[in-house]
Amino acid sequence: MEQFFQQLINGIVLGGIYALIAVGYTMVYGIIQLINFAHGEIFMLGAYIAFTLVMFFPIPLWVAILVSMLFCAGVGMLMDVVAYKPLRTAPRLSALITAIGVSIGLQNLARMIWGAKPQSFSEDTLPKFFQQINPLVEPTSFLNIFGVSFTENAIQFSEGVSLAYLDLTIIILAIVLMVGLNRLVSLTKIGKAMRACAQNRVAANLMGIKTNRVIAITFAIGSALGAVAGVMVGVRENISPLMGFHKGVAAFAAAVLGGIGNITGAMIGGLLMGLAEVFGAGYIDSFIEFVCNNIGLGQFYEDEKISHSYGSGYRVAISYIVMIIVILIRPTGLFGKSSAHRA
Amino acid sequence: MRNWLIALLIVGLISLWGCQPSDKKAEVTTETEANTDETEETQELTEQVKVAVAGPFTGTAAAFGEMIERGAKLKAKQINEAGGINGRKLVLTFGDDAGTDKEAKLVATRFATDKEILAVVGHFNSSCSLAGKDIYKANGIVELSPGSTNVSVCEGSDWTFRNLYRDDFQGTFIARYIKNILTKYKSVAVLFDNDDYGRGLRDAFTAEAKNIDLEVVASVAYDRENTDFSTQLTKIKSKKPGVIFISGLYEQAALIVKQARKLGIRSLFFGADGIDSPDFLKNAGISAEGTYLTTPFTFGAGGEEAAKVATAFEAEFGVPPDTWAALTYDAMGMIAEAIEKTYNKDAALAENRKAIRDHLASLDTPEEGYKGITGLTYFDINGDTVNKPAYVKVVIDGKYTTAPKQMPNMDAFE
């Protein structure tokens, strides 16, 4: 049971990251029907910018995240102006191929600037409660309420269930930003303009909405959220020029799962994708063992050495299988509507 | 205006894209060429012999490739400064397999069909050595690996050799070391990279663990593209193992120890030669403290000759050499010695290549073995090196330190 709760936490954290990235894909698609493949690279740039900032300037991480968000918002808008705006009336395929081109270009730009080797944030640039502690020293618990103890870098719910402050921060950030975005889209004037553009760009333009400005803002918001996810992944895992590709593809799948073009869908899709990946990888081996034992293949299972848990090596594949199943049953995704009612 | 912008963008993209795969190779070639000019002027070695080095110079194992390249370059430089091989200049050419079997096949084909290359030092990753094996065999050229430890690397080919131990030795060694020396720990969980190296090592380890009653409580795979290991670690955590054995490479291992500590796992980590890289220490930081690992060689246990090479290496490249630089240095030395003893200017390429192979195969007793800085190297019938011991290192204060207790004799392996 402890394992279940720990996996649940892992899944929610990963889901939060996917949701933050997926929103960027879905917002752009909602407004200009473009799958912006370069969004994964914005996410990667976000991580690298914050990494470089804290390396060279004595600034705290949260300032670096803010600067990185602003920078990525700028890159997102620039990308729109340079690559997509000239193709606004061109066939959708042209814009799609351009997006792939921008993606490859940014990936290699990062490789030229920062090198191909993956890098990690150095510990002293991180806030104290994100830092690692010496594994040879017993962690000190400075607060203990109802059996839940707070140590230097994690909350211990019980012996087998813990939540690192870093992961907690990711979850909180994801929730706050998602709620904020939701409020922005449904309550503000610019949100209304975005929804109008999503319904019909030409009509919105005729009503006096500056559609190009709305599109630019959409790119900026999506990119800024991607940058936050990038920094968090950079701190939690590592930073490499290919990180945007790996996480980006999964997040794109999450957006499709939720119904591309639908912001709430992307949030839920991201969460589901994270949970599917973690629980799929976590339990598929037990499932296979269970099946083998129950259809009289227990010996075969032992002999063929599948008793080594291979399943977790295929965690990415598992989440795609979930996506394919959903798409087969509901081609519009979980929350997708027919094209007239997007966003 | 728009068209102009698009055109500019396309040109930019193409040029960026064009830079990427080739820049490393270009750099390597120019360096070699630069070397060539320089030495030709000073030494007037007009004739040359060519040897290829294959390794992961880019990709997720690039830190190993870097050391391999440097080890080979240092040996070649020293040979050429001492007058070359029988008055011929030793020229190196490098091939990047990126640590993947797909690229390794391309590199192997290029080397094997080359009209000048006499022998190949490489590959590093077991999957790459295996992928190249048949190509080298078909074209009759020696493949001498300074890093592949998978059991089957040398099997079935007379042309493949290696100058370090195999994973069945290493896996057995680790199981016994935990059982006999780290007696505090009663159970082990295995976390393995799902490729030839990771699986081979895991099999040797779990088989021996079963023999000596060391309890293996879990055995979990990961993919090398993974950067988030929390799922696998959570599975292992619930089994509460005393030791977690990582059967994989340094980059993933660094993430694994970091994420394990964040999850509150306080088991001891034990790795194999795949995590023997300065990058492991750099990326894992303080989380790596107390991690044990086996390695085919450590400068701490090497002799005077090894210390001299270490000094020369540091003077040349500004960093101390690691295990792989040392093994490559020796592999290059063996090939150079074979060329020195057998090379015939007038013979055809195939004959010269064959003569090198025959010379290496003839080194089959301790008396005839090659004495390098990593110890004595001689081959068994497969081309494996069976005499070399494993050393144990432990991470203390962010540095690899030779472990206080070594296990020089392992009864099962005599």
Instruction: List the single best residue of A7, A87, A108, A148 to mutate versus B (max B Cβ within 10 A).
Output: A108
pLDDT of B402 > 70? The answer is yes
Q: Cβ–Cβ of A7/B227 closer than 8 Å?
A: no
Distance from CA of A181 to the nearest CA of B (A): 27
CATH class of B167-295+391-402: alpha beta
pLDDT band at residue B339 under the 50/70/90 scheme: very high
pLDDT (0 to 100) of residue A104: 94
Token pair listed for B168 = 């069945």
Q: For residue A82, which residues of chain B lie inside 8 Å, CB to CB?
A: 5, 9
- Per-residue pLDDT at B17: 52
Asked whether the predicted pLDDT for residue B47 surpasses 90, the reply is: no
* Residues in chain B closer than 8 A to A133 (CB atoms): 261, 286
Residue B293: the pLDDT is 94
pLDDT score of B121: 96
Interchain CB distance below 8 Å, A160 and B237: yes
Distance of alpha carbon B243 from alpha carbon B209, whole angstroms? 12
Q: What is the pLDDT of residue B225?
A: 82
Q: Would the pLDDT of B320 be above 60?
A: yes
pLDDT at B58: 85
Task: Quick: pLDDT tens for B50-89.
Answer: 999 999 998 878 889 999 999 999 999 999 999 999 999 9
Query: pLDDT tens for residues A53-111?
Result: 999 998 999 999 999 999 999 999 999 999 999 998 899 899 999 999 999 999 999 99
Per the CB < 8 Å rule, is B220 touching A312? Answer: yes
pLDDT band at B139 (very low <50, low <70, confident <90, very high): very high
A316·B20 Cβ contact <8 A: no
User: Given this model, what pLDDT does residue B9 score?
Assistant: 57
The answer to whether the CB atoms of B6 and A278 lie below 8 A apart is no
Average pLDDT across chain B, whole number: 87
- The pair of three-digit structure tokens given for residue B9, joined into one six-digit string: 């963008």
pLDDT bucket at B20, cuts 50 / 70 / 90? very low
What value does the mean pLDDT take over residues A168-189? 94
Task: Please report the domains of chain A, with CATH numbers, ordered by start residue.
Answer: 2-341 (1.10.3470)
CA distance B35 to B168: 40
Q: Does B261 touch chain A (CB under 8 A)?
A: yes
pLDDT at residue number B31: 46
Split at pLDDT 50, 70, 90, the class of B161 is: very high
- Mean pLDDT confidence for A302-309: 62
pLDDT confidence of B343, banded at 50, 70, 90? Answer: very high
Query: Where is B74: in which H helix or E strand?
Result: helix B62-81
**Cα separation, A110 vs A113, whole angstroms:** 5
Q: Which of B192, B231, B285 shows the shortest C-beta gap to A282? A: B231
pLDDT score for A17: 96
The per-residue pLDDT for A334 is 85
**pLDDT higher than threshold 90 for residue A311:** no
pLDDT of residue B29: 45
pLDDT of residue B185: 92
pLDDT above 50 (res A176): yes
Q: Rounded mean pLDDT of B325-342?
A: 95
What ipTM did this prediction achieve? Answer: 0.87
pLDDT category, A306, cuts 50, 70, 90? Answer: low
Interface-testing mutation among B22, B234, B269, B291, with chain A (most A C-beta atoms within 10 A)? B234
| Answer CATH for B2-164+303-377 from 3.40.50.620, 3.40.640.10, 3.40.50.2300, 2.40.50.100 | 3.40.50.2300
Q: Give residues with Cβ within 8 angstroms of B346, minimum separation 6.
A: none
Between CA A228 and CA A233 the distance in angstroms is 9
Query: Is B264 in Cβ contact with A162 (below 8 Å)?
Result: yes
pLDDT above 80 (res B237): yes
Which helix or strand (DSSP H or E) is residue B262 part of?
A: helix B250-262
Confidence of residue B6 (pLDDT cuts 50, 70, 90): low
Residues of chain B within CATH 3.40.50.2300 domain(s) are 2-164+303-377, 167-295+391-402
Q: Whole-angstrom Cα distance, residue A215 to residue A87?
A: 13
Q: What distance in Å separates the CA atoms of residue B261 and residue B242, rounded to the nearest whole number? A: 14
